A and B are shown apart, each in its own frame.
Chain A
Amino acid sequence: MSGLPKKILVANRGEIAVRVMRSCHELGIQTVAVYSEVDRKALHVRMANEAYCIGPAPSSQSYLRGDAILEVAKESGADAIHPGYGFLSENAGFAQKVLDAGLVWIGPKPFAIQAMGSKTESRARMVAAGVPVVPGGTEPIVSPEEALSIANDMGYPVMIKASAGGGGKGMREVSKEEELIPAFNAARSEARNSFGDDSVYIEKRIIRPRHVEVQVLADQHGTVVHLFERDCSIQRRHQKVVEESPCPVLLPETRRAMTQVAIQAAKAVHYEGAGTIEFLLGEDQSFYFLEMNTRLQVEHPITEMVTGVDLVQAQIRVASGEALSFSQEDLQQKGHAIECRVYAEDAANNWAPSPGLLRCYTEPSGPSIRVDSGVYEGSEVTVYYDPMVSKLVVWGENRADAIRRLKRALNEYQILGIQTSIPFFQALMDDADFLSGVYDTGFLTQEKMNQLTAYDDSIDPDLVAALAILALEKDLTLKPAVSKRQHSKWKWFYQEKR
């Protein structure tokens, strides 16, 4: 195929579908939306040039139906499919069907999706490619002597984990050699009692790990570049909440090593397109491969802010066979970018979901602010899909500058009708530990959450006055005398016209 696609079907919804369509329209490419029955009025449907309903609300009956999506591609004459993130984006079988139908798949080859999709296969491949992985393995260890020699080789602290494990049962942390054998025996008996299976394995324990990932971009001609790192250590229930680039604690030599390893990892699976290699970063700057995401990430905009590269446009270009238009030397990490994922959730109430109608919705704007969202005033956040409402991304010359800008932008959001995580972010931007930049994936402890959600209860007297004024104004406009006269005037006008 030569040249860019003429028409791209975006097999997704919400902010990412909107974001992908924006790049398509900039490239002069027509867009096709697919939507479920509850999404008829969704922003991605409104933004697309064409839209097709593919089934009822549950994703299993709509956004996950590859067959229905391929039919729409055929009917609409789309020549490429962009999967966004989630849904079918890492489904190798679907990617293969797209290729079999003679369409362009805007993503890596099914082989790479498959190879990186399985924990054990990707780990084995990475080891073979010389990529550091968390030392240890899932092979059961039977004798205390074997356990001791493995643990001594990898260095302390280590974790002993039950193969059949879960819920912390059969799990022991060991920080010294002399504690190993007793802990090994205890873990085995606990595993036997809890799961009826006493096999355990040993893994190196990374102290205060940070989640740092590297964005890579590869064309079909063997060129792979990296677009630096993102730190995604602020997480709740293993879900990212805030991301920033650069990572505030990464030393330049670690960055050099980590980005080189990421390129090595991508080359090992002949990667094409945009992808992300996730690492655990230890306190001592050691880093270990975690997994590779073979798609665009939610947090990709912070990379776009610091590098100036439009990742979606790049994805479309390389999927069409174009060579990358820039080299590694052309890429720079300029300034600092931070993203906050605004969810329809009540952070103060254990992140309880808060779906509903957006009675008011105003986004922040101004210098170096980017808001990616799939909602608008009057739209509904339903219970069927991810409750992310909007992504706020800011850029600043440095981290402190970006945080100041973020605070300003958070204050400009006006969202009514649902609870959002905005008050939590406002508190986070004043938190001394966050401001220091020294935090790890365990940052959001219950204690920290309690601190951050102890919102100020004091009431501004002008707020009280505002409510009384608005209530009076509403009551005055609802007075029958006024509306009656207006009504009869219209009636009179209407009759005259007839």
Chain B
Amino acid sequence: MRYEITLNDQVFLVEVNKTETGYTYAIDGGEEQHCSAERLSFNRHALLFRQRSVDVQYSLDEDAEIHFEGRRYVANIMDPRKKSIKMASGGSGDVVRSQMPGRVISILVSEGDTVSKGQIVATVEAMKMENPLKAPRDGVIASVDVAPGDLLEAKGVLLSLRPVD
């Protein structure tokens, strides 16, 4: 099985397979290595990379989050096979959301606009602060779902993206 993993803007392609004693994996076509993984609870695993022992806590819904060796990381995990299907149908997870409940102040793009990753596409007022929202990747605005003045719930969707034609 292959996964495409994005962490801090770096993309890794990992080949991973289950074995009798755990998992084997290879990152970006590198050497195959072994890891033993024991489930502790629904969101905890005890991992052994060779002799290195690491406890992780994680959540793989929506954005993947993991706590690894004292730090929290937000990652994007994609199955490259599903990715092609998703991309063709307009993509999923390719939306601009407000993390906090708040009010839309401005929408800086309109349907059909081409945007690049990191471009500010909207601003939202939440907890008395103006927060710029950025495009998560390059794409074309597929829909604008809110208007200035609209109230948003936490994780409310403002815009959706489709791939560049």
Contact = CB atoms under 8 A, between A and B. Distances in A.
B3 A468 contact: yes
Interface in A454-498: 457, 459-476
B73 A470 contact: no
B5 interface: yes
A360 interface: yes
Contacts of B43: 359-360
Contact of A464 (B14, B67, B71): B14
Given A463-B68, A468-B25, A469-B25, A383 B3 contact: no
B129 A352 contact: yes
Contact of A416 (B25, B57, B126, B127): B57
A470 B56 contact: yes
Contacts of A356: 99, 154
A423 B14 contact: no
Interface in B13-47: 14, 16-18, 23, 25, 27, 33, 35, 37, 39, 43, 45, 47
B72 interface: yes
Interface in A9-58: none
Contacts of B3: 467-468, 471-472
B66 A467 contact: yes
B59 A416 contact: yes
Contacts of B12: 459, 464
B101 interface: yes
A472 B66 CA distance: 15
B64 interface: yes
A417 interface: yes
B60 interface: yes
Interface stretch (A222-230, A312-320, A407-415): A407-415
A459 B57 contact: no
A426 interface: yes
A392 B101 CA distance: 28
Nearest to A455: B71
B52 interface: yes
Interface in B44-96: 45, 47, 49, 52, 54, 56-60, 64-73, 75, 77, 79
Nearest to B55: A414
B59 A359 contact: yes
A473 B54 CA distance: 17
A264 interface: no
B54 A466 contact: yes
Contacts of A362: 57
A335 interface: no
A469 B39 CA distance: 11
Interface string A376-415: 0000000100000000000000000000000000111011
Given A417-B59, A467-B64, A473 B37 contact: yes
Contacts of B45: 466, 469-470, 473
A462 B154 contact: no
Nearest to A457: B8
A395 B37 CA distance: 35
A410 to B, nearest CB: 7
B164 interface: no
Contacts of B52: 462
B147 interface: no
A410 B59 CA distance: 20
A353 interface: yes
B49 A383 contact: no
A460 B1 contact: no
Contact of B35 (A420, A465, A475): A465
Interface of A: 352-356, 359-360, 362, 383, 410-412, 414-417, 419-420, 422-423, 426, 457, 459-476
The 9 closest A-B pairs by CB, nearest first: A411-B70, A468-B14, A414-B67, A359-B59, A360-B57, A468-B16, A414-B57, A416-B65, A353-B127
16 contacts: A354-B99, A355-B100, A356-B154, A410-B70, A419-B72, A460-B69, A462-B49, A464-B14, A466-B66, A467-B77, A469-B23, A469-B37, A472-B16, A472-B17, A472-B23, A476-B18
Given A359-B65, A459-B12, A472-B23, 10 more contacts: A353-B100, A355-B127, A356-B99, A359-B43, A360-B43, A463-B73, A466-B66, A467-B64, A469-B47, A472-B3
